[in-house]
Structures are given as structure tokens and as C-alpha cells.
Structure 1
Amino acid sequence: MNYPETLAWIHGTERFGSRLGLGRMGRLLHRMGDPHLKVPYIHVAGTNGKGSTTTMIASVLTAGGFKTGKFISPFILEFRERMQIDGEMIPEETLAALATRLRPIAEEFKAAGDPPTEFELVTVLGLTWFAESGCDIAVLEVGLGGRLDATNIIPAPLVAVITRVDYDHTAILGDTLAAIAGEKCGIIKRGSTVVCYPDQEEEALDVIRRRAAEEGDPLRLPDRTQLTILSADLSGNRICYKGQEVFIPLSGPHQVLNALTALEALEALSGTRFALSPASIAAGLAATRFPARLELLRQVPPVLVDGAHNPNGGHALCDALKALGLHNLTAVVGMLRDKDCLPVLRMMGPYCARMIVTTVPNPRSTPAEEFAELARQVCRDVTICPNCEEAARLALSTAGEQGVLVFGSLYLASAVRPVLIAELQKN
């Protein structure tokens, strides 16, 4: 297969499997030579912040001279973002060659009535590439949950990281923080060090503590008393933590907490061959790049793109806008039907003079006309523009001096980000 054929094959598979469990993943990987057993890992689960935390950790390991794989989802710019080594996406020809090897195995499983899911195939491809490329270490972001996620086929990671746990995917993970945390804690295995986000709700933290104790694993929590925020603006956050000054080029107070989580995970490696110098830590954090996480596309007037899509993400975005003194924004917003839309909109209402509601380019999207009824409950000026690219252009042309904000879905951010960049480059 060539690269376009590879994408068509991957996206043409089922999103959800007929059987729960990791047995199918184990069998697929065994047929590919058990690549998941050949690389040490850091595994990152959580509701919010896991992508940013994964990216910070991987960037620092690369700066430290280690060949570092990174596995994340979803992608923002293009599919190959999902698997990277030292910040470089998998080459098209490499992905196509790996998929050509995997496809007949997957077809064999399908013929036997046990077809792999899309995420399982992508995970197998990523793990195989990391192993066959000779990665020193890989940082894996969980796709959904943790316990039954395809990435959890790996043996005990060096570090199991739990970022902020909140309500999302409740139909699958459970409707209490304890239940959701229990699923996330499925990545905690005997022989790891567990690192937890610093502002975890007590209900979730109790579950994390208990699971770490059951596995006999040490639990590390960032120490907020050793944090000083030196500066914070749209370019990012400069902080001092445990006596070391670092710059995080991701804006918003929530990214400070994600950075503390990443720093604790990296400190947990100090007794291993992956020990890192202060210079590597500072350089790696400063080099972190992660699109659509309160990403600044233009400084004045500001144009911001964020993937906030649940109440916790909404809180983080609001805290950032408040800290940065941003208000009266023109928002381009759309959300998926299975998200808790109204609470997010209520949080964002005070910061938005106008909402241009659109349809997210995803089968699970709430149609713009239906979403507008929710938006009108929190904002007086609501415009319906079902085509998200047109919505982005409309926002840029009418926002004035207060600026533009995109939020509600990473799928929306992925679709409109290139449009915004192209329009800004014209001016």
C-alpha cells in the first residue's frame, strides 16, 4: 500500500471492537514480533492535560539525548502526528510499509470474527515503529480510560502518570470520579513509579493512592509549596520549581500544573539510565510545541485556538483567559453530541461577546442549528455557520480588536487552524 491507501485502510476499520480486553492486541503484536516488549515506557493517562504532559516529557527526553518515541491522539494537523520520534512524524513511506505488513494479519483476524479496531491498528503501528527504530524510550498517551486501552498492552512502565481526572466519556468509564479514576489507574502496574497531577480531586486521589499501594509502587505528588510563577502571558509561563527556573511555551495556569506533573515524572527517572540534567530539562521544556492548546496564532488582536471540550477543560480555559485579561472575544465553537456542552458554554459565556456556532467535522457532532439553542442560553449574539471553515473566516473578518477564540473540540481545532493560519498570512 502507498500512504493514501494506508490512511483509507486505517480509517475504514471499526472504531470500537466487538470484544473488550487486551487479548486481541497481544495476539496482533505477537504476530509483529512483540515490539511492545523491546522498549521502556512512560505511560500517561487522565481526562485532561495528558497530551500536553506527554509532549513535555518527550521533549525533555529528546533534549537529554535519548531517542524518544511519542504516541498521542487525536492529531491536529495530520495523521502522522500520532507517532513521532524526537519530534519528527513517522515518514509516509515507513507508515505505509508497516501497514502493508500488518494488513494481512488484521484481515486474518477479521475473517475469524475478531476484527481489530482502528485505535488498535494505530497503536500496533506506533509500537512497532518505536521498537524497530531503536528508540531508547517511548512516552505513550492513553487513548481512552486506561485499563482496557490498547496502549495498556505494554509491561510495567518506568513511570505511570495520572493527569487531571474529571468527568468525560461517562457512558464508558463510569459516572463517578472514583469509577473514572479506577479505569485510569489500570495503567499502574507493579514495578512502576506513579506520578499524580497536583490538584487532583480527593475522590480520585484516594483511588490513585490505593492502587499504587496495592501494586507496591511509590506515589509522587508535585509540591506546590516549591513553585514560584515568575511570569505568565500569551507566550507561556516562566516558573521556578524546586530551585530550577524553566520556561513553558504553553499558556494558561493549567499548563503550569501539567508541567509540574511532567517534572515529577522526569525526576522519577533520576535513579535510572534516563537521568536528566537541569540544562536538558530547561531546554526540553522550552522546546515543547503542542498545537491547539491555547495556541496563539496572532498576538494583536489575539487569535487563539484551544481544544477545551469538557467542564474541566472549560475551567482551565476560563482561568487562562481571566489571568491573561482577555474578554469580549468572538468565539468559533462547536462540540460533539456526547459532550457535556451546556456547562462548558456557561463557563465561556462571560468571555465571549459573540459566538459563531458551527458543526464539528465529525459524525458525532452536534449540528450547528441544534447547538445554537444551547449557545443562546449564555450569549446574546449567536450566529449559525454550519461550515466550520467559513465560520473561522467570518470570525476573523468581524472580530475587531478584541480577538478570536476557537474552542469546543480538538476536531474543530484541527479543521479551522490551517484556515486561520492561511487567512492571517494574507494580511
Structure 2
Amino acid sequence: MGISFQQAVEYLSSLRPLGIRLGLERIQALCEACGHPEQAFRSIHVTGTNGKGSTCTMIAKILSCSGYRTGLFVSPFVVNVRERIQIDGRFISEHQFSELMAELIPIVEDVARRVDHPTEFEVKTILGLLYFARAGVDYAVLEVGMGGRFDSTNVVTPLATAITNVALDHTDRLGSTVEQIAYEKAGIIKPGIPCVTGADGGALKVIQRQCELLNAPLLRIGKEVLLEENPSGTFSVAVSRRYDNLTTAMMGRHQRLNAAIAVAVADLLAQHDSRITPQAVREGLATAVAPGRLEIVNSSPTVLLDGAHNPHGAQHLRQALTTLFNYRRLILVMGMLQGHSAPEVVGILAPLAHVFIATSPISHRSVSEDELAAAAEQLGVPVEVVSGVPKAVERALSLAEPEDLVCITGSFYTVGEARPLFVREPLPDKSLCQSQNKPTEPSKTIWE
């Protein structure tokens, strides 16, 4: 019996009280019950504290530009849950989403009786894997939800893995040191499978040790992978070969680091696949976009959306605000979730602001507006408290002059509530590479 898209979303929402429960037994049972869709395609697996979504998007676009039908599974979504599951930049349709959920719900409930109840993220993961398998993708690029070792995406045997970076975040679940967190993220490394990383310090030592134990080749940014800035404004990446005249559609120097990881992954694949060319790499990086990453959605005043939600991400945003933008005043709208060192994030960004507007997104894990406001007030920044993200954005715009910058940040939940105020659609990828044929929808017979 079919269900509507809204009913499918409501079922997923009903699983939210189960929370985050790391472990592989439930997703393994789901994969077995669905005929192991995770084995039906070649995969790339990416984790990291920050930048993993952008890196996944870049890798997927390079593969699409190489002429491959490419799936992309990312988290969290910004506006629409369908963003999580894409093929060649097209979101899964509401019809396909609901049809697959109608098929999965009885399987989920059976696994709940036999093993344990799958979580919301685990059901979304099996939904994505099954969609990619049914659609016949050549590749799927999968972003880890949290950590890596016990994340539900860690059921694939990928051709390559990537760990973008490691910093303190989710310390209540992954550990209180970067070394402990790196150990969890290094759990995606597989025997003999190459890994690319931008990690450094103690985290890199942990990753190196895991690669040595598993005989997995390791490519490190700054060592085996060289990133060079060019006077022309482009950049180059050297791996087994040199890739010149590279640009990224996404702003920020940190995106060039993400791009270097994406190029290194593509280079590993290209060593066994002549279809992945330097031209495909250049086109993929130049056209890969993801919502809520230094995304400008308005001018006069400039409105900037960025999902920086932890200290590491806040440092990247601070660098961008001080080097990439010219403005008279900065009006900062911030709403955060618990578990991401809110006082430290405020401490990094609030000193740049002429006005700090504290708000909170719709979530049971939201940090209170008063807590954010108190942290900003201690820094001597003028503060306003406005309940609800839309009203906070409205207030920021009422204060802004044409030459000011309004930056909305602190969480992808906050960005997700703000973005529809400026952009109608959740950014489907309409840009095609020259080398990419127009992507086709999965055969309708699959869903009938």
C-alpha cells in the first residue's frame, strides 16, 4: 500500500525520539533484508569534522563530469530532506521517496522486532543505498553522519576513503580529545583501501597508525598531495599527476583544501579509469555547489549563509569575513544546537559584529537565545534576542543598510530556516559539465 511523501516524512520524524545510537547491527540487518544494496555500486566514503559535505559534493561532481551516473548521500540537509539523496545533482523525487519508504517501513519494523529499532538516520541511510542500487548508479559518494567507526554509512567497501580534518566536536559521543575523535573517524579505513586526509598533529598520527595496521595507502595534504596557490587566482594540485588552473564554485580558502582532497580521490580513481580526466576534475570543481556554505543569497544588503556550527568551522567563517568581504557593518544572526561548544563559537565570531542577534532554530537540541546572548554580551558586543529564525532575520534586515553584511550562521538548522526567505528552491544542480550528458531519471518501471 502506497503512502504520501508527507506520511513518509512523518514516519521518519516519529523515529527522532530514538536519538543517535551508534552501532552497525541495525543497518547491517536492514542491508541484509534489502538484498545488500550497498554492494551494487562503487563507493567513496568521506568523514571529517568539517568540510566533508563540500568534499563529497566535489567528488560526486567530478565523477558526473566524467560521464558516470553518480549518487550522493549527504547530511544534514539544509531545507528539504530530499537533499540528502541525489543522483547527478538531482534530488530524489517525492514519489520515489515515498514509494521506497512504503517498501521499507515493514522491513524496518521487522528489524525492530528481531534486532533493535533502527534510528531515523539509519532508515535514511538504507533509503539512499536502496535508491542508488535501484537506479543503477555507477558510483555513490557517501558522507558519514557522525564519527565513522559505528556510523550507519560504514557498511560499504569503498574504492577510497577520505578524512577531511579532525577537530573537537561531538565530544559527548566521540571523545574529549582530537586523538579519540580521530580514532572514531579512522574507523572507515579499510584493509588495502587508500585514504586521503587533511588532518594534522595528533589526529594525523592516529590515522597513520590505522593505515599502517590495515596496509592502507595514506595520502596526506602537504606530503603526497601538494596544493599550490597561483598568482592568477587559480590553484594547482599535484598527486600522481599535476592538475592546473583549478577553481572552485564554493568560496573560502578552506574549500581549496577540500578540493585538494577531492582531486586526490579522483586521481586515485583515474589511475585505473581513463574516463576521469584533468578536464573533468576542473569542470567538477568549478561547478560543484552546496547550499549554506558561504552562500550569498541577497545583495544590498549582502546576506550570507554559512553553516559553521563548531569552533573549527567558525574559524573558517571568521577568515572569510575578514578577507573576502567588504562591508560597513556586520550584523550577525546566530542560532546553535547543543554539543558544539557554543560559547567558543560566539567568542570567535561575535567580536567581528556590530550587532549580534541571538536566536534559536526549531529543534529540541537548540541552545537557548539567552545563553548565546550572554556569551556575546561578555565580549561587549551590542546584543538583541529575537525568538524564531525568520523574525531574527527580519530584524537583521531592518537594521541593515545597503552596504552592510548580514551573516546568518551557527547551525545548518538555522541556515535551513533562513534560506527559504531568500531562495525558492533548495538548490538543485542545474549546471552540467561539458563532458556530461544530461542526467536521466531512474526508469519509471523501478517505482511502479
TM over 0.5: yes
Match in the other structure for 2:168 = 167
Q: 2:69 aligns with which of 53, 67, 70?
A: 67
Q: Classify 1:296/1:380 alpha carbon distance in 2 versus 1 (closer, same or farther; 3 Å).
A: same
Counterparts of 2:129 and 2:243 in 1: how far apart (Å)? 36
1:302 Cα offset (Å) = 2.1
Conservation of the 8 A alpha-carbon contact between 1:345 and 1:378: no
Structure 2: 5+ residue runs without aligned partners? 425-448
State the distance in 2 between where 1:145 and 1:20 align: 9
Q: 1:240: Cα distance to partner?
A: 2.9
Q: 1:20-40 CA distances to partner (integer Å, 9 max, x unpaired)? A: 521221111111111111111
| Cα pair distance change 1:288/1:263, threshold 3 Å | same
Secondary structure (helix, strand or coil) at the match of 1:33 reads coil
The answer to whether the Cα contact below 8 Å between 1:306 and 1:407 also exists between their aligned partners in 2 is yes
Over 3 Å counting, the alpha-carbon distance change for 1:103 and 1:274 in structure 2 is: farther
In the other structure, the counterpart of 1:202 is 201
Determine if contact 1:40/1:138 at 8 Å carries over to the other structure. Answer: yes
Match of 1:373 in 2: 374
Query: Does residue 328 of structure 2 align to residue 349 of structure 1?
Result: no
Residue deviations 1:276-316 (CA, integer Å, cap 9, x gap): 11111111111111110011113454211001111100111
Compute the displacement of 1:59 (Å): 0.7
Do 2:343 and 2:372's aligned partners in 1 also have CA atoms closer than 8 Å? Answer: no
Task: Give the alignment of 1:3-402 within 5 angstroms.
Answer: 3-14=5-16, 16=18, 20-112=22-114, 114-155=116-157, 157-197=158-198, 200-223=199-222, 226-230=227-231, 238-241=234-237, 242-273=242-273, 275-326=275-326, 328-400=329-401, 401-402=403-404
Give the C-alpha shift of residue 325 in structure 1: 4.5
What is the identity, as a one-letter code, of the residue corresponding to 1:309? H
- Determine the C-alpha separation between the residues in 2 that align with 1:20 and 1:208: 20
- CA shift for structure 1 position 381: 1.0
CA 1:37–1:398 in 2, change beyond 3 Å: closer, same or farther?
A: same
Deviation at residue 77 of structure 1 after TM alignment: 2.0
Q: Which has the higher contact order (CA 8 A, sep 6+)?
A: 2
Q: Which runs of 5 or more residues in structure 1 are unaligned?
A: 233-237, 423-427
Taking structure 1 as the reference length, the TM-score comes to: 0.93
Task: Evaluate the alpha carbon distance shift between residue 50 and residue 379 of structure 1 in structure 2; reply closer, same or farther with a 3 A threshold.
Answer: farther
Alpha-carbon displacement from aligned partner over 1:133-167 (angstroms, at most 9, x marks no partner): 10001000000000000000112x11110011100
Letter in 1 for 2:353: C
In the alignment, the residues of structure 1 paired with residue 14 and residue 422 of structure 2 have an alpha-carbon distance, to the nearest angstrom, of 29
Q: Verify the 8 A CA contact 2:67 2:275 in the aligned structure 1.
A: no
User: What root-mean-square deviation, in Å, do the aligned CA atoms of Structure 1 and Structure 2 show?
Assistant: 1.8
TM-score by length of 2: 0.89
Amino acid paired to 1:343 = E
Give the match's secondary structure for 1:359: coil
Q: 16-25 vs 264-273, which deviates more? A: 16-25
> Partner amino acid for 1:165?
V
Moved more, 376-385 or 312-321: 376-385
Residue aligned with 1:146, SS: coil
Mapped partners of 1:222, 1:359: distance in 2: 37
CA offsets, 1:37-88, max 9 Å, x none?
Answer: 1111100001000000000100111011000000001111201000000000
Q: Using the TM superposition, give the Cα deviation of residue 326 of structure 1 relative to its aligned residue in structure 2, in angstroms.
A: 4.3
* Change over 3 Å in CA distance of 1:110–1:17 after alignment to 2: farther
CA distance in 2, matches of 1:23, 1:44: 21
Asked whether the equivalents of residues 307 and 413 of structure 1 are also in contact (C-alpha less than 8 Å), the reply is yes
CA contact (8 A) 2:55 2:261 kept: yes
Q: Percent identity?
A: 38
